[in-house]
Amino acid sequence: MTKVTVGFIGLGLMGQGMAANILKKGWPLTVMAHRNRAPVEALVADGAREVRTPREMAEGCDVIVLCVTGSPEVLAVIEGADGIAAAARPVTIVDCSTSDPSVTMKLAADLARKNITLVDAPLSRTPADAAAGTLDVMVGGVEEDLRRIRPVLECFAGRIVHTGPTGTGHTMKLLNNFLSMGYAALYSEALMLGRQAGLTPQVFDSVIRGGRMDCPFYQTFFRWVLERDPNAHKFAIRNGFKDMSYLAGFANACGAANPIGAAVRNSFAQAVGAGRGEDYVPMLSDFIAEANGLPKQE
């Protein structure tokens, strides 16, 4: 097939591995710097083209992948003065960010009137999977749009699930993160209570690991707890709080009671309020322990 030019905005922990795989699979790639120039320079050295604004990117690309923090950043990149929409070209935007589904659906409708297609395609797994090209991708959009972008998604995805119409990808991502952030809050509180009773994290792990409650998320979480590996799960607490806040907004819009979601959000809100938002999610276990008067885990 003819390989269209792909743009990529958001070369963070996940994005740099995704973009590298797009380039490696032979797609013409255009990138843009934000805060960190190192990923841009590495990609340009491998053959990518650099532009200065989203508008300039849209003027020369047919598909643009976004991997930014959330809805405010997506709106700025698309609707800003030098945003993608300002180019007035029929591009396809693939939003791999974790965004608010209600914002996504409204934005998609607004862009459709300008002949611009927005597909939500949030991600699951880790930066290591992004580099390996084995991410899980949840795609909201019509079949025809998915068929058109699937070859690009396959550059960095090991599994692609079509969730339904636009917005359902971001909804499913919030539910996925509700489960994972819920596990993080549960592990942190259970570890704290265990330590109050004199049970070490090592004893806790010896019971859970290999049993029915073991899972890959548990294993990366406990690489920090047991080995103090700061790279075990590189997802910031502030992002977990952001995602749980989106979930709370979704529940409110549905008129649904979600007491467990509220409790999980509050665990993350307390950590962010205490200045720990830049810590990675497994480090929530340290915050919960310290907040309950336990000494710092070595």
Burial class (CB in 10 A: 0-12, 13-18, 19+), 18: buried
| Active-site residue (options: 25, 173, 242, 296) | 173
Sign of CA dihedral 249, 182, 9, 40: positive
The amino acid occupying position 133 is G
Q: Is 173 known to be catalytic?
A: yes
| Residue found under tokens 């998915």 | 146
Q: What residues are labeled active site?
A: 173
